[in-house]
């Protein structure tokens, strides 16, 4: 199960922590002020996902690496075009004469296009960028795979979809056989669609496909984070392609409907537009996030009401 916690208070800039059940690893979406983020949580972050580098999404990057440095860990940072230079500039703005070269290692993944990701290494104390390779996927570890859309916010704004790996359940009571290593062999054959594999059970051989009815595939939980974006058709096509039928999506709803001319001007979204696109994506659950800091709590309630009205409308 993937869980998300909003770590910023109302009137603070946005930061969302993603936690994976049964894993000590966390992921962080954007680096706003996030006063609710603890040092322990920051030290468990193995990957940071930056939507774009407007100051409200990137100002606390220093606060994050302040607590990561010295861990000796490798931390992945994903972000839009030029993210590698912006991180390099931040790191080079401090003095590092007392820091060991093994204090940390950043691996930066710069999103050029959907199938072109440049991977850079960045290490103390000199923080000189080293281009390692170009790859055609963004992020995958043993827990999750991350898909993304490149949205227009008058600059690239990356929306991320965290997809837990599918799991396979074995129905023991239906099998009639004794337990054994054949169960894991069958699961592997099922995952690889290896229908002809011969499975030995209690001295007899069975074709894997004939036993597949003992298994069911459970689709992994899918959680999306969509930050700043213009409420327009092109962005919505991209959002639908990645986030349709997700379990839960957090989506920027910066303005009230009555301020939607500002949304248009600033390439942002507004309450009912964000609710409507989530409805069109048929996501199971959606949460509006990242409201203009000039809004009061009453304004925020107005945003949430308009958002959920559009989301749940028949």
Chain contacts with Zn ion (rule: CB under 5 A) = 54, 56, 228
CA distance 84 to 86: 5
Q: Which residues contact 98 (CB under 8 A, 6 or more apart)?
A: none
* Whether 107 contacts 76, CB under 8 Å: yes
CA distance 57 to 288: 16
User: Per the structure block, which two tokens stand in for 242?
Assistant: 């990645």
Q: Which residues contact 247 (CB under 8 A, 6 or more apart)?
A: 221, 222, 223, 283, 284, 285
Nearest by Cα to 242 from 313, 150, 304: 150
The burial of 105, by beta-carbon neighbours within 10 Å (0-12 exposed, 13-18 middle, 19 or more buried), is given as: middle
What are the E-state strand segments in the chain? 2-6, 16-20, 26-29, 45-49, 74-80, 105-113, 116-122, 130-135, 139-140, 144-152, 156-164, 167-170, 198-201, 204-207, 215-218, 222-226, 248-252, 285-289
CA dist list (Å): 252 to 53, 210, 273, 287: 15, 48, 10, 9
229: DSSP letter: -
Q: Which is nearer to Zn ion, 25 or 54 (CB)?
A: 54
The full length of the chain comes to 314
Q: Which is nearer to Zn ion, 143 or 269 (CB)?
A: 269
* Whether 151 contacts 229, CB under 8 Å: yes
Q: Which is nearer to Zn ion, 189 or 227 (CB)?
A: 227
User: Per the structure block, which two tokens stand in for 187?
Assistant: 């699961």
Peptide bond into 142 cis (omega under 30): no
């Amino acid at each position: 199960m993937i869980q998300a916690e909003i770590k910023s208070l109302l009137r603070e800039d946005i930061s969302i922590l993603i936690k994976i059940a049964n894993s000590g690893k966390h992921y962080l979406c954007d680096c706003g002020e996030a006063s609710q983020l603890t040092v322990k949580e920051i030290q468990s972050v193995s990957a940071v996902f930056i939507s774009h580098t407007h100051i409200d999404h990137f100002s606390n990057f220093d606060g994050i690496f302040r607590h990561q440095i010295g861990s000796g860990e490798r931390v992945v940072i994903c972000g839009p075009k030029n993210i590698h230079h912006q991180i390099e500039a931040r790191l080079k703005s401090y003095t590092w004469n007392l820091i060991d070269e093994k204090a940390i290692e950043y691996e930066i993944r710069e999103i050029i296009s959907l199938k072109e990701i440049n991977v850079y290494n960045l290490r103390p104390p000199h923080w000189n960028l080293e281009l390692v390779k170009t790859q055609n996927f963004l992020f995958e570890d043993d827990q999750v795979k991350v898909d993304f859309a490149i949205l227009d916010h008058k600059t690239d704004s990356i929306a991320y979809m965290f997809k837990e790996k599918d799991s396979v359940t074995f129905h023991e009571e239906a099998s009639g056989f004794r337990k054994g290593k054949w169960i894991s062999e069958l699961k592997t054959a099922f995952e690889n669609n290896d229908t002809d594999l011969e499975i030995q059970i209690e001295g007899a051989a069975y074709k894997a496909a004939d036993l597949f009815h003992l298994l069911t595939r459970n689709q992994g939980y899918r959680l999306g984070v969509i930050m700043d974006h213009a409420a327009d058709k092109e962005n919505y096509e991209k959002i639908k392609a990645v986030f349709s039928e997700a379990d839960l999506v957090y989506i920027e709803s910066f303005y009230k409907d009555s301020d939607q001319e500002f949304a248009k001007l600033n390439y942002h979204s507004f309450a009912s537009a964000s609710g409507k696109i989530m409805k069109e994506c048929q996501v199971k659950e959606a949460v509006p996030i990242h409201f203009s800091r000039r809004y009061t709590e009453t304004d925020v309630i107005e945003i949430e009401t308009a958002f959920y009205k559009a989301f749940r409308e028949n």
